[in-house]
Amino acid sequence: MERTDLELLMTAEGLRLLDSLPPYTDGSTIVRSVAALRKQGHSAGLVGAVMTQARLRAKAAQKFGPFAERMLFTESGLEQATRLSVAALHAGRFRDAGVTSVADLGCGIGADALAFAAIDLTVTAVERDEVTAAIAAYNLAPFASATVVHGSAETFDRQSVEGLYLDPARRTAGHTNTARLTDPADFSPSLDFVFDVAREQPTGVKLGPGLDRELLPDDAEAQWVSVDGQVVETGLWFGTVARPGIRRSALVIRGSARHELTAAADSDNVDQGPLAGYLYEPDGTVIRARLIGDLARSLGAHLVSSQIAYLTSDALVPTPFASAFRVREMLPFNVSSLKRELRARNIGSLEIKKRGVDVDPATLRPRLALQGAERATLFVTRSEGRHVAILADRLP
């Protein structure tokens, strides 16, 4: 969103027009609405601005639920925003630690600041981009305890608050078509700055789930979070908002249920062994937190292959930290023979997973020429130094 779009939108006419639109469903909705609004005499610029917001509000419902219906967004701001359910957990950390005022340094559109304000923390939301700061101010307007500052994390008076929350920008500047930054020195603010200030007062830091583990500070609690199977962030916690004795955490959120696996350090691994009756695919948080060994021991399982995150056991043990599959058989990984074996088993719908091998499921699938009424899952991986295909059934 450019400043001119924001100026058009942030008027009584613009906001009334946005709120009057029917729910966005697909592209045909936009075509009909644009034609109707232009016919009513609204300018092309205003129509474009409100239709963009209608589309983003519909997209934002996945992260913000019904709150999205009264919020404003930028494309990149929405993409990088914390889900409200996860932001609520961030806020709870500060509340439980007795912190009453927090600076959200690099607040974006204000997702985490919303959660802080919602539990009556005094929050100062700081954003260096002028347009994004204005949007955050609109989103936070219902909360008297929230203030938005157009400024930088580096120059903010950190001693004016009890705690800090930082979500350093990991993409190039702008509101659309931004590119991912790979060098932590290019983050805004830089990761060195973030870690330096984090040691001064209670601090939470949101980073991408693929953070290089070599960058993890020894004095932080590192928590990986997944929502409905997707790993969404690495959270680092310092000072009193870090929990005593915990340095590694895998938090799995599915619907309204939350499950957590914690440890004081990376867990020791388990041995490799033969394929058994059940196969487990650990949640991505467990893999990134390097808690596979702890999970395996809780399941009475071992690795299918060393250095590959598939577990197997003779008995089924339900767990929220892994997807479970009943093993049918192990087959040699050969496209021609796989095609023949799958056809013999009447398998026409196949979920393909791979780990530890250079195989593209999207390329493999058409080569298998699937036909039949049965469903199955195919794991392409390594076992005892060779490529194998494990045919299995996903369990609820």
Do 89 and 181 belong to one domain? yes
Give the chain's domain count.
3
Q: Are residues 27 and 82 in the same domain?
A: no
CA atoms within 13 A on the CB side of 41: 1
* Statement to judge: residues 259 and 146 lie in one domain: yes
- Whether 65 is in a domain gets the answer no
**Is 270 within the bounds of a domain?**
no
**What is the pLDDT at residue 345?**
96
Both 213 and 152 in one domain: the answer is: yes
- Do 34 and 95 lie in one domain? The reply is no
3: confidence class by pLDDT, cuts 50, 70, 90: confident
pLDDT tens across 261-294, in order?
999 999 999 999 999 999 999 999 999 999 999 9
Domain boundary among the residues 263, 288, 310 is at 263
Task: Confirm whether 236 is domain-assigned.
Answer: yes
Beta partners for residue 222, in sequence order: 236, 248
Within-domain flag for 323? yes
pTM given for the model? 0.91
Range of the domain at 12: 3-60
pLDDT the model gives residue 34: 80
Indicate whether 52 and 176 sit together in one domain: no
List C-alpha distances in Å: 127 to 97, 137, 227, 364.
25, 10, 26, 46
How many degrees, rounded to 5, is the angle at CA 29 between CA 25 and CA 35? 165
Residue 66, domain member (yes or no) = no
Cis amide linkage into residue 396, ω under 30° from 0: no
Encode pLDDT of 85-95 as tens digits. Answer: 999 999 999 99
Residues 132 and 209 in one domain: yes
Statement to judge: residues 47 and 125 lie in one domain: no
Does residue 272 fall inside a structural domain?
A: no
Residues 27, 102, single domain; the answer is: no
Residue 92's alpha-carbon distances to 98, 99, 250, 374, in angstroms, are 10, 10, 17, 46
In a domain, 72, yes or no: no
Q: Is residue 73 part of a domain?
A: no
CA distance 238 to 171: 24
Under 8 Å between Cβ of 391 and 376: yes
User: Which CATH number fits the domain that encloses residue 200?
Assistant: 3.40.50.150
Which amino acid is residue 39, in one-letter code?
K
pLDDT, tens only, 174-220:
666 677 767 788 888 999 999 999 999 999 999 999 889 999 999 99
Q: Quick one: angle between helices 44-64 and 27-39, nearest 10?
A: 140
Examine the domain organization and report whether 188 and 127 are in the same domain. yes
Give every CB contact of residue 361 below 8 A, 6+ residues apart in sequence.
Answer: 352, 353, 354, 380
Query: Backbone phi, then psi, for 68, in 5-degree steps?
Result: -60, -25
Asked if residue 142 and residue 82 are part of one domain, the reply reads: yes
- Of the candidates 197, 172, 114, the residue with the CA atom closest to the CA atom of residue 148: 114
Strand partners, 127: 150
- Residue that finishes a domain, picked among 200, 235, 263: 263
Same domain, 225 and 183: yes
